[in-house]
Amino acid sequence: MQYLIATSSKTGNTRQLADALAAALAGREGATCVYNGSAGPEAAAALPQADTALVGFWCDKGTCPPDTAELLAQLGGKRVFLFGTAGFGGAPEYFDRILDTVRAQLPASAVYLGGAMCQGKMTPNVRTRYEAMLAEKPGDARIQAMIDNFDAALAHPDARDLAAVATAAQAALGLC
């Protein structure tokens, strides 16, 4: 297996997953990494050598960001594992929905092996925005839940997240 890891990561959360995947796959017999870096022209240039692509994305309004979408469109004939982070955690169905949306952007000839996601911390301005919303609607349970989610996200990705994504990838790739 010649695999490529290409990641879109604005603030580093998804990069952490990519690094954990690279570490988990390094040295596996029959598995050679041909590229490990950001999604973009360099990833596209390395693609011809890879039969398997592990593509990481941060959740951008319910889907993947444009650089990921661009890469996904070039994955015809490849085996693909998706991994990602999103600010909202706690509901596996939410992650499944995002993965379905992102997966739908693969060409028909790509072989989707599976995907895994975890929660990822958000930037402080998001909490400031939520606080302003709560100040306008004191006691609003929905806004309070958003603040609670923000605070819970601060600890992610954590070691368990990294291990779970690495395990899911190894299983999907048939390496364990």
- Which is nearer to ligand FMN, 64 or 79 (by Cβ)? 64
Tell me if 117 contacts ligand FMN by CB under 6 A. Answer: no
Applying CB under 6 A, among 18, 25, 53, 86 the residue interacting with ligand FMN is: 86
- Which is nearer to ligand FMN, 3 or 88 (by Cβ)? 88
DSSP per residue, 115-159: EEEEE----HHHHHHHHHHHHHSTT-HHHHHHHHHHHHHTT-S-H
Mask: binding to ligand FMN, 41-60, rule CB under 6 A, as x and -?
Answer: -----------------xxx
* Rounded (10°) CA dihedral 160, 163, 166, 172: -80
- Which is nearer to ligand FMN, 81 or 88 (by Cβ)? 88
Identify any residues that bridge with 132 across adjacent strands, giving them in sequence order: none
- Which is nearer to ligand FMN, 51 or 60 (by Cβ)? 60
Tell me if 6 contacts ligand FMN by CB under 6 A. Answer: no
DSSP 30: T
Binding-site size, ligand FMN (CB under 6 A): 18
Strand ranges of the sheet holding 2-7, from the earlier edge strand across to the other edge: 32-38, 2-7, 52-58, 79-86, 111-119
Instruction: Give the interface with ligand FMN as residue ranges (CB under 6 A).
Output: 9-15, 58-62, 85-88, 120, 122
